[in-house]
Structure formats: structure tokens, C-alpha cells
């Protein structure tokens, strides 16, 4: 596992816990290209956590294989494998008796980095996740929930692993902190370009974050694996359709910004809106004001086109 | 403590008015007998306690680690420990004498037994203090099982171990006075000797008893101070 991102392949993976009638995962095959932000989503008990923990061997495989950049995880020692994978869990699991700095430096220390390099990297990471350098000497109990979450993320990123596993990392946060953390993990993904496998049971979070979404249904069945737009446009079965909700057309429009879609030529009339607005919000404005059109303006405030309800509808066909 | 030729009033020495009147506390007697009675008794008491707690600590630690490793052993060991604790100390001496005689060994076995059963539950509980998510995060980051024990579970057990140690030290200091029923050792002996007199000499009882209490207080305070240094993350009002 070298380079900045790793490709992960689930090859017909099954897992059945002892004493359970139905499998937690059933013949899962999935290729996550290097650098992808892949979200595993689905109802409780769908096997999302199981799939994640199979990757770093916290749970052992029954059948099939998982390969990271072509190497089977079974060919590596669990300890070596895990040191090359960043892992973030919902409860964060910071070491209460270690300072923030020591927590972040855990894996580099295991890998035998010199102290000076660990200190440098810790400071760098504190900045990346938006914490203060002075926080390095504080204990986790002295931080807020959102700050702890950032430390958990910094700790997972410490040794610059090509792969990051995150299990419902934002589940315990309030909506505002959560939205901020979601923005940051997106930004971070753009910047560091790692492969991220992110588990959530929140379809909104999945749509917002994922380059690709894998929907796991009851009994560990992979119901659909595609881009958010493709899933919203064409749910594979009634289960997926129900899971993503009746308002999937609006959710799709929420994924696009006016500046990124083909607009009608500027025709004048209607209120002006910025190009950063999502198509969904443009539709909402059209409906709210009873307007027949909106003028979309670019960065400089110059009109770049026009949007109507009929045009928004046509965008859904593409 | 053998006396070649018994003086008339063996324990009173050169009697002052205070001593002759057997007032509650005669500091002149304490000064006069620090060298030959109280001082040595205090040293012996510290020895008895230190050996008992040290051996008890090692045994309890070993048992707790064993029970932590083999979870099924946890409950049986705990039950036996509680049973041992319920045996009255004097009865335990009687049980042991046929095997180990009237020796320091007998006393120490009993004292080790008590300190062990006080220490064990605290140590066993302490090792389970590490929250499951902390252990999972550690394992997920690639710590070996041994590193999880040494770097996570043991440090997080320190507060519980220290509170067990405080209890063990204080209770052993108290129980060790009973050693005097068996042999002339420790702060219990001056008390025992005084009580044998039809008119017990009060100063001797109060001085030896007071020393035992003071010893317990000093040790307890020292451990509290040590725990502040050993568990910095629980300072500043932080929850462990
Ligand atoms: N250690 C275990 N022993 C037995 N069964 C388990 C174990 N862990 C999970 N399971 C079962 O396997 C199935 C999948 O569990 P998993 O934790 O992977 O689901 P999940 O999709 O992560 O759910 P959630 O959204 O609630 O976290 C569930 O039916 C669960 O009860
Ligand atoms: Mg889960």
C-alpha cells in the first residue's frame, strides 16, 4: 500500500456470525477505485460495520477475499495491515490518558518515527483538521464533542495512510457541527485524495458525501452501487426507492449547482440568483414566488442564463 | 523482648507522677520508651505491613492479569477472595499455626491474604476500565494485544489500583496490630502487654494506638499525592 490512495476490491465476501440464521454479508462484490469517497449506507443491521471491519481484519472473513491494491488482506499480518489504514469510529475512542498530541502521534510512534517528525506531523494535522496547535497538550476530556471528532480524524490521518475507514463518525454530533464536519471531510478528501470508505445509515449524508454509494439491504445484500445521481435517477429496486425517499427528484436537483448545469440562454426577466445556488433551491424559489423564470448571474454579477421549472424538469432527464 | 532480671514495674521504667497515677497520656513515658519500645514496634509494624502489601500486590496483580486474560476465571477468583476476607483474623492464625508455627510467616500469610483480597477486586475492575471503544480504536490502529495491555489497559487501571492500594495499606496497618496475639511484633504488642495488666497502662495503649493511626494517615496521604502525579489526565476535575 503505497501512494496516496488505494483501490479496494471485495470479491464475493460472505460473513455469518455464529448462532445467526441470516448472514451479515452475503456474497458482496464491490470495487472501490483508488481515491474514491465511497459511502456504505443502509438500514440498521445491513452489515455496513461488518463490511468495514472486515477490511482491517477486526472481523475475520468466512468466504471470499478483500484486496487492497491487488494484495489480499490475508497475506498481511493484521497489525501491519491496520497500521496502514486510518480508522475512525463513531465513539471516537480517544485514549483518555494521552494528550491530544499523543493521541494523534499513536500510529507514527508505532511505526518508529523520530520524535521530531511526529511533533511536526502532529502540528500539521492539528491545522488540517482545524484545531489549535496549543490543543496538543490538552487531554480529550477537555475538548468538546466536535473537537474530539477532529482529533479522531487527525489520529487516523497521522501516518498518511492511503485508505481511511470511517464508521458513522458524525452520528453523535449536533446538526450544525455535523454539517461543518461533513464539509471538512469533503474538503479533506479533495485535498489529500485518499480512498475513503464511510459508513452511515443516513441517506442524506451519503448523498452529500459520496462519489459512490453502496446500499446494503437486509441480510447483507448489495442492493445498488453507483453514483448518488445515478441511484436517485434510477433506483434498482423498490427497496432502494423506498430507502432514498419519495423526494428523490429534489435530492437529485440538490446535487447540482446552477453554475454546473446547462442553462437556457439569458432572456431577461425574473429575480436574479447566484450560480452557486443548487437547482433544488432555484426550484423552491420559483415555486415560492410563482415566478416563471430566474436570471442566473455569474461571479461578477453578469447574467449567464435563465432557469425555468420546465428546464429544471428537463435536467432530471439527462 | 526478653528481660534478664525483671524490674519491679517492668514497663513503667523510672516512674514519674503522671505514670504512677496512670493518667491518660504521659509524654515523659513516651520519650523515655521511644528507643526501647515504641520506635522498634513502629518499625516492625511498617515491615509487617510493607511485606504483606507488597506480596499481596504482586499476587493480586498476577491474579487480575490472569483473570483478564481468561475471563472465565474472573468470577471464581472473586468469590474465593470474598470468602477469605470473611474469615476472622484470629481464626486464620489458629488455622495456620499447625502448619507454619508461631512465626512471622504465619502472620505474614494472614496479612498477605487480607491485602490480596482487598487489592484483587480493584485491580480486576481496573483492568476492565478501558472503554470498549478505546480498546477497539487501539486494535484498529494496529496496536498488538500486548501493547493494548501495556499502553492502554494498565495505565487506565492505575486509578482503581491506587484506590485499592490505599484500602489495602490502611486495613493492613490496622489488622497487623493483631499479630501481637501470636508474637511480640508490631504496634499491637505494646497494647497487648498493657492490656495484660489488671490496671492497663493508658499511655502505652494510646501511644501505640495513636502511632498506628498516624502511620495509616501518613501512608494514605502519600498515596493520594502519588496518585495525582501518576494520573495527570484525571486532574483539573476531569472524569477518568
Ligand atoms: N459480533 C457479532 N456477533 C453476532 N452477530 C453480530 C455481531 N456483529 C454484528 N452482528 C449482526 O450482524 C448483522 C450486521 O451487523 P452490522 O453491525 O454490520 O450492521 P450495521 O449495518 O453496521 O448496522 P447499524 O447501522 O445498526 O450499525 C446484524 O444482524 C447484527 O446483529
Ligand atoms: Mg454499524
CB contact under 8 A, A93 and B134: yes
Q: Any CB–CB contact under 8 A between A80 and chain B?
A: yes
Q: What interface predicted TM-score (ipTM) does this complex get?
A: 0.86
**How far does A169 lie from chain B, in Å, by closest CA?**
12
DSSP for A123-143, written as a single string: HHHHHHTT--GGGGGS-GGGS
Non-local (6+) Cβ contacts of B50 within 8 A are none
B36-87 pLDDT, tens digit each: 889 999 999 999 999 999 999 999 999 999 999 888 887 888 888 888 778 8
Q: Give the residue-averaged pLDDT of A63-78.
A: 95
Whole-number Å distance, alpha carbon A148 to ligand 1 midpoint, is 25
pLDDT at B206: 92
Residue nearest (by alpha carbon) to ligand 1 atom 30: A45
Whether A141 contacts A97, CB under 8 Å? no
| pLDDT band (50, 70, 90) for residue A191 | confident
pLDDT at A128: 86
Q: Any CB–CB contact under 8 A between A56 and chain B?
A: yes
d(CA A98, CA A3): 30
Looking at the predicted structure, is the pLDDT value of residue B240 above 50?
A: no
Chain B residue closest in CA terms to A99: B233
Nearest to A207 by CA among A173, A238, A237, A230: A230
Phi, psi of A50 (to 5 degrees): -60, -45
Q: Give the residue-averaged pLDDT of A144-149.
A: 90
A194-235 pLDDT, tens digit each: 999 999 999 989 999 999 999 999 888 999 999 999 999 999
Chain A residue closest in CA terms to B239: A141
pLDDT at B236: 53
pLDDT at A172: 76
| pLDDT band (50, 70, 90) for residue A181 | confident
| pLDDT band (50, 70, 90) for residue B5 | very low
Looking at the predicted structure, is the pLDDT value of residue A123 above 80?
A: yes
Lowest mean per-residue pLDDT among A14-18, A251-255, A264-268, B5-9: B5-9
Chain A residue closest in CA terms to B134: A93
**How far does A31 lie from chain B, in Å, by closest CA?**
22
Residue nearest (by alpha carbon) to ligand 1 atom 22: A49
Chain B residues bordering chain A (beta-carbon distance below 8 Å): 131, 133-144, 147, 152, 155-156, 231-233, 236, 238-240
How far is residue A113 from each of residues A46, A107, B141, B198, measured CA to CA in Å?
39, 9, 15, 75
The domains of chain A, with CATH numbers, are 8-247 (3.40.50.300), 256-317 (3.10.580.10)
CB contact under 8 A, B141 and A83: yes
CB contact under 8 A, A96 and B143: no
CB contact under 8 A, A93 and B143: no
CB contact under 8 A, A141 and B133: no
Looking at the predicted structure, is the pLDDT value of residue A252 above 70?
A: yes
| pLDDT band (50, 70, 90) for residue B91 | confident
A95 lines ligand 1 (CB under 6 A): no
Q: Any CB–CB contact under 8 A between A113 and chain B?
A: no
Nearest to A193 by CA among A145, A219, A160: A160
d(CA A92, CA A144): 12
CB atoms within 10 A of CB A55: 22
pLDDT at B235: 66
pLDDT at B8: 43
- Who wins on pLDDT, A179 or A11? A11
Which burial class, exposed, middle or buried, applies to B8 when counting CB atoms under 10 A from its CB (0-12, 13-18, 19+)?
exposed
d(CA B72, CA B82): 17
Strand order in the sheet with A221-226: A85-89, A163-167, A195-200, A37-41, A212-217, A221-226
Query: Which range scores top for mean pLDDT: A268-272, B49-53, B96-100?
Result: B49-53
pLDDT at B238: 45
| pLDDT band (50, 70, 90) for residue A272 | very high
Phi, psi of A39 (to 5 degrees): -110, 125
pTM: 0.84
Looking at the predicted structure, is the pLDDT value of residue B4 above 70?
A: no
pLDDT at B1: 44
The domains of chain B, with CATH numbers, are 32-239 (1.10.3720.10)
Among the residues of chain B, which ranges form H helices?
17-20, 27-33, 39-69, 74-86, 89-100, 104-127, 132-140, 145-147, 154-175, 188-196, 202-230
Looking at the predicted structure, is the pLDDT value of residue B3 above 50?
A: no
Lowest mean per-residue pLDDT among A114-118, A168-172, A276-280: A168-172
pLDDT at B89: 79
| pLDDT band (50, 70, 90) for residue A193 | confident
pLDDT at B13: 55
Query: Residue B44 region, left (φ>0) first, then alpha (ψ -120 to 50), else beta?
Result: alpha
Amino acid at each position: 500500500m503505497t501512494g496516496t490512495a488505494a483501490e479496494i476490491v471485495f470479491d464475493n465476501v460472505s460473513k455469518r456470525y455464529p448462532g445467526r440464521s441470516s448472514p451479515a454479508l452475503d456474497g458482496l462484490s464491490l470495487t472501490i477505485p483508488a481515491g474514491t469517497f465511497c459511502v456504505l449506507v443502509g438500514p440498521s443491521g445491513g452489515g455496513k460495520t461488518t463490511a468495514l471491519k472486515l477490511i482491517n481484519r477486526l472481523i475475520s472473513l468466512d468466504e471470499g477475499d478483500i484486496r487492497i491494491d491487488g494484495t489480499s488482506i490475508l497475506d498481511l499480518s493484521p497489525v501491519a495491515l491496520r497500521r496502514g489504514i486510518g480508522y475512525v469510529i463513531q465513539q471516537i475512542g480517544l485514549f483518555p490518558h494521552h494528550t491530544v498530541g499523543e493521541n494523534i502521534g499513536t500510529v507514527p510512534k508505532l511505526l518508529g518515527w523520530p520524535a521530531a517528525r511526529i511533533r511536526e506531523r502532529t502540528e500539521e494535522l492539528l491545522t488540517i483538521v482545524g484545531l489549535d496547535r496549543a490543543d496538543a497538550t490538552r487531554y480529550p476530556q477537555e475538548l468538546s464533542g466536535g473537537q474530539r471528532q477532529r482529533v479522531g480524524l487527525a489520529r487516523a490521518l497521522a501516518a498518511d495512510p492511503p485508505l481511511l475507514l470511517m464508521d458513522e463518525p458524525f452520528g453523535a454530533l449536533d446538526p450544525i457541527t455535523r454539517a461543518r464536519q461533513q464539509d471538512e471531510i469533503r474538503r479533506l478528501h479533495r485535498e489529500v485524495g485518499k480512498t475513503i470508505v464511510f459508513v452511515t445509515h443516513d441517506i442524506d449524508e451519503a448523498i452529500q458525501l459520496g462519489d459512490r454509494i453502496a446500499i446494503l439491504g437486509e441480510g447483507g445484500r448489495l442492493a445498488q452501487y453507483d453514483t448518488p445521481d445515478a441511484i436517485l435517477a434510477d433506483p434498482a429496486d423498490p427497496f432502494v426507492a423506498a430507502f432514498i425517499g419519495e423526494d428523490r427528484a429534489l435530492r437529485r436537483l440538490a446535487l447540482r449547482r446552477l453554475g454546473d448545469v446547462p442553462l437556457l440562454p439569458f432572456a431577461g426577466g425574473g429575480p436574479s440568483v447566484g450560480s452557486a445556488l443548487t437547482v433544488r433551491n432555484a426550484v423552491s424559489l420559483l415555486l415560492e414566488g410563482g415566478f416563471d423564470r430566474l436570471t442566473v448571474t455569474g461571479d461578477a454579477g453578469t447574467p449567464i442564463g435563465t432557469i425555468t421549472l420546465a428546464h429544471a424538469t428537463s435536467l432530471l432527464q439527462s | 523482648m526478653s528481660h534478664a532480671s525483671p524490674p519491679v514495674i517492668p514497663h513503667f521504667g523510672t516512674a514519674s507522677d503522671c505514670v504512677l497515677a496512670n493518667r491518660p497520656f504521659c509524654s515523659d513515658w513516651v520519650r523515655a520508651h521511644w528507643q526501647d519500645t515504641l520506635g522498634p514496634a513502629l518499625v516492625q509494624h511498617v515491615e509487617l505491613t510493607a511485606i504483606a502489601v507488597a506480596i499481596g500486590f504482586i499476587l493480586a496483580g498476577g491474579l487480575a492479569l490472569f483473570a483478564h486474560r481468561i475471563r472465565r476465571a474472573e468470577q471464581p477468583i472473586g468469590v474465593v477472595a470474598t470468602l477469605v476476607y470473611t474469615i476472622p483474623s484470629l481464626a486464620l492464625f489458629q488455622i495456620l499455626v499447625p502448619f507454619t508455627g508461631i512465626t512471622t510467616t504465619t502472620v505474614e500469610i494472614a496479612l498477605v491474604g487480607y491485602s490480596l483480597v482487598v487489592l484483587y477486586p480493584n485491580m480486576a475492575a481496573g483492568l476492565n476500565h478501558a472503554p470498549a471503544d478505546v480498546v477497539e480504536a487501539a486494535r484498529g490502529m494496529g496496536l498488538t494485544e500486548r501493547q493494548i495491555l501495556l499502553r492502554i489497559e494498565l495505565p487506565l487501571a492505575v486509578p482503581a489500583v491506587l484506590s485499592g492500594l490505599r484500602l489495602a495499606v490502611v486495613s493492613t496497618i490496622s489488622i497487623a496490630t493483631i499479630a501481637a496475639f501470636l508474637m511480640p511484633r508490631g504496634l499491637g504488642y505494646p497494647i497487648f502487654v498493657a492490656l495484660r495488666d489488671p490496671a492497663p497502662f493508658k499511655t502505652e495503649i494510646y501511644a501505640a494506638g495513636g502511632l498506628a493511626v498516624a502511620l495509616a494517615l501518613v501512608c494514605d496521604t502519600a498515596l493520594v499525592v502519588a496518585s495525582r502525579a501518576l494520573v495527570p489526565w484525571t486532574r483539573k476535575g476531569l472524569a477518568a
